[in-house]
Amino acid sequence: MTADQIAALFTREDGSFLCARWGRPVAPVVFGLAEESLDIFRAAIRAGFAHAGHPLAGTDPEMGSNLMLFFMRDWSELADIPDLDRLTGQRGLAGRLAAGRADHYRLFRFDPDSAIRACMIFVRLGGALATAHPAQLAEALMMRSALSFAREVTPSAALAGLIRAAYDPVLPAAATDPAHALRLAARLAAQPAAPASFGANAPEHG
């Protein structure tokens, strides 16, 4: 993965650049899944952040949970989430997602230093994702929550390596200069081969 390819992943539509990682332990919670699927998602989150070298926690002192995944059959079910407008800071979210025929939606919150403070992911399982393999979907959502990607990303060994490189403690938790991509590319090139996917048996961190 070249520096230009990396920079493109974090460049927004307005041309601004932001590569941010989590600045606090991740406290995940998953809503709307059956127990057997819930275990798959928990394992993917645990293994993915262990690979990144970033800790998980049972709770966040300010928010309780700071990585929230909501699964539903239809966007109308968003009406069942208490205080959704306050939680997301967006009014009419369900209507916009339905009008755009979206399958999923991701929203970040940031701390004052621009590190990720919280991530909310909403997934509609009644559309194109109805036949998605749970393990593959879990891995994709974990990766998309790990960094402030400005576009959709697909799980791969290169992407897993990029996430690990971005969590190098020598690097800042957030960068707005596209030259940051050069530092990431250099670390990525120096890494041993990353796993093709995150297995549930990866060691836990923290």
Residue 201, in any domain of the structure: no
What pLDDT is recorded for position 106? 96
Cα–Cα distances in angstroms (integers) from residue 61 to residues 26, 31, 122, in the given order: 11, 20, 23
User: Which pTM was predicted?
Assistant: 0.89
Domain count, the chain: 1
What pLDDT is recorded for position 59? 95
Residue 159, in any domain of the structure: yes
What pLDDT is recorded for position 206? 33
Residue 196, in any domain of the structure: no
Residue 105, in any domain of the structure: yes
Residue 52, in any domain of the structure: yes
Domain span including residue 182: 3-190
Q: How confident is the model at residue 195 (pLDDT cuts 50, 70, 90)?
A: low
- Per-residue pLDDT of 124-162, as tens digits, reads 988 777 778 889 999 999 999 999 999 999 999 999 999
Lowest mean pLDDT among 34-38, 57-61, 148-152, 193-197: 193-197
Residue 197, in any domain of the structure: no
Lowest mean pLDDT among 79-83, 182-186, 194-198: 194-198
Residue 196: pLDDT over 50: yes
Residue 28, in any domain of the structure: yes
Cα–Cα distances in angstroms (integers) from residue 150 to residues 117, 140, 192, in the given order: 17, 15, 26
Residue 203, in any domain of the structure: no
